[in-house]
């Protein structure tokens, strides 16, 4: 018999000779046809496959537990701010009178953290960079320049002459208009892109800061003291009469970002993939950055520059939520901001007599937590 192996054609399939130490030249290797493996059970496949913001049921449960814990912590801090140190009889007229005086601080904390969280997460997603904040575009430098310019040209009387509401609306309109013009200029045209926009924003912010410093050095010492107090971010000195303007505007802009959360998910994939999926990348980028400008203008005009808070909230939210869906990330970022800023305000008001230095506690405690998260995860 020859070296060929004879089998039935129905059970075998001939394969070309393969050079090997165990196979003699000129022979044919025959492999028996085997039936394909059975298809997986449809129920098992349905349980193992998952499409959505959560990779599994355990992941969903973990997110809900974290979200619920943050809600409870935020509510507890708000109640402590309203009631701690109120020695009057519970629910009496005097007790309510003292609590109502503290409501404005709670509303300011909720508004500022909401604006900072929505703006920072959206800005980092659009720019595809998680180590920058909207402040890089010169919002805070422009705010400082406006305040410095008012004192420089009009004196301290100019601050009172314009009125609190007039200053708020003026500087908010200037910041939003500046941002829209900058975005329209740098994102339009053939060579417009986000990287050039960020570089130009850094240069403009540096230039505005230098101009503000030059004008501040030429001020009278008394005027400079008044200006420095206004430029320091402070929750306790926020004007209550500005809340009817800031709160609805922040809610409208933040709700718009949350409703467009699915588009943010697509923008996070990059301009090429987003365009291939049918999304007008440039138009959506302009829309998101305009909403970011509105939120940053409201936050900065209400309490002053707060650079590190938004960065801290966004970074911790990415780590804690552990999902790609921005409609889940944004609420976590906001609640984290309420807990961080609320705890700092409570400690400095009732534990340490330094209520004007809220941002110091935010940078110390928040910065330490941020470093711990980075060291633990090993990446941003």
Q: What is the pLDDT of residue 38?
A: 54
Task: Please tell me which residue, 371 or 277, carries the higher pLDDT value.
Answer: 277
Q: What is the pLDDT of residues 200-216, one digit of tens each?
A: 888 888 888 888 888 88
pLDDT at position 238 over 50: yes
Q: Which residue has the higher pLDDT, 22 or 138?
A: 138
- pLDDT by residue (tens digit) across 274-293? 888 888 888 888 899 899 98
Cα of first residue to Cα of last residue in the chain, in angstroms, is 70
Give tens-digit pLDDT for 69-82.
999 999 999 888 88
Give the DSSP letter string of 226-294: HHHHHHS--STT--GGGHHHHHHHHHHHHHHHHHTHHHHHHHTT-HHHHHHTT--HHHHHHHHHHHHHH
Predicted local distance difference test score (pLDDT) of residue 189: 62
**With pLDDT > 90 as the criterion, what percentage of the chain qualifies?**
16
Supply the pLDDT for residue 295: 92
The superfamily (CATH) of domain 78-377 is ABC transporter involved in vitamin B12 uptake, BtuC (1.10.3470.10)
Mean pLDDT for 300-327 is: 84
pLDDT at 333: 93
Higher pLDDT, 95 or 369: 95
pLDDT higher for 366 or 304? 304
- The pLDDT assigned to 18 comes to 44
Band (pLDDT 50/70/90 cuts) for residue 336 is: very high
More confident residue, 32 or 351: 351
Provide the residue ranges of all domains of the chain, joining segments of one domain with +: 78-377
Q: What is the pLDDT of residue 254?
A: 92
Query: What is the mean predicted confidence (pLDDT) over 177-205?
Result: 77
Strands (E), the chain: 12-15, 29-32
Rounded to an integer, what distance in angstroms lies between the CA atom of residue 102 and that of residue 203? 40
List the one residue out of 140, 134, 149, 151 whose CA is nearest residue 301. Answer: 140
Rounded CA separation 118/309 (Å): 12
For the entire predicted model, the pTM comes to 0.79
Mean pLDDT of all residues belonging to the chain:
78
Mean pLDDT of 95-117: 86
Q: State the pLDDT confidence band at 3, using cuts at 50, 70 and 90.
A: very low
Out of 106-110, 325-329, 368-372, least confident range: 368-372
Does 379 have pLDDT greater than 80? no
SS3 state at 48: helix
Confidence of residue 307 (pLDDT cuts 50, 70, 90): confident
With contact defined as beta carbons under 8 Å apart, do 304 and 123 qualify?
no
Q: How many helices (H) and strands (E) does the chain have?
A: 15, 2
- Lowest-confidence region among 76-85, 229-238, 310-319, 366-375: 366-375
- Greatest Cα pair distance in the chain: 115
């Amino acid at each position: 018999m020859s070296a060929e192996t004879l089998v039935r054609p129905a059970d075998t399939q001939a394969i070309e000779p393969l050079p090997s130490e165990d196979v003699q030249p000129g022979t044919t290797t025959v492999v028996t046809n085997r039936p394909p493996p059975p298809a997986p059970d449809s129920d098992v496949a349905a349980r193992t496959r998952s499409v959505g913001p959560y990779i599994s049921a355990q992941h969903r449960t973990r997110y809900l537990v974290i979200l619920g814990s943050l809600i409870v912590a935020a509510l507890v801090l708000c109640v402590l701010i309203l009631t701690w140190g109120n020695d009057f009889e519970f629910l009496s007229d005097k007790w309510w009178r003292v609590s109502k005086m503290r409501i404005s601080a709670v509303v300011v904390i909720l508004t500022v953290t909401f604006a900072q969280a929505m703006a920072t997460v959206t800005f980092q997603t659009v720019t595809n960079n998680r180590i920058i904040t909207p402040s890089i575009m010169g919002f805070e430098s422009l705010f400082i320049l406006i305040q410095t310019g008012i004192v420089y040209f009009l004196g301290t009387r100019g601050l009172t002459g314009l009125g609190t509401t007039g200053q708020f609306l003026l500087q908010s309109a200037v910041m939003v208009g500046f941002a829209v013009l900058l975005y329209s200029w740098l994102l339009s045209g053939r060579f417009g892109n986000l990287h050039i926009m960020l570089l130009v924003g850094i240069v403009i912010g540096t230039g505005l800061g230098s101009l503000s410093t030059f004008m501040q050095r030429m001020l009278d010492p008394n005027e400079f003291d008044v200006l420095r107090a206004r430029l320091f971010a402070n929750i306790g000195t926020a004007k209550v009469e500005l809340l009817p303007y800031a709160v609805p505007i922040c809610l409208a802009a933040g709700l718009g970002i949350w409703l467009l959360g699915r588009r943010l998910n697509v923008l996070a994939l990059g301009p090429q993939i987003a365009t291939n999926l049918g999304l007008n990348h440039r138009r959506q980028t302009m829309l998101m950055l305009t909403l970011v400008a509105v939120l940053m203008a409201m936050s900065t005009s209400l309490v002053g520059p707060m650079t590190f808070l938004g960065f801290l909230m966004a970074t911790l939210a990415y780590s804690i939520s552990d999902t790609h869906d921005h409609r889940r990330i944004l609420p976590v970022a906001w609640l984290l901001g309420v807990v961080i800023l609320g705890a700092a305000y409570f400690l400095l008001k009732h534990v340490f007599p330094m209520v004007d230095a809220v941002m110091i506690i935010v940078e110390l405690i928040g910065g330490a937590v941020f470093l711990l998260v980075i060291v633990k995860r090993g990446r941003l």
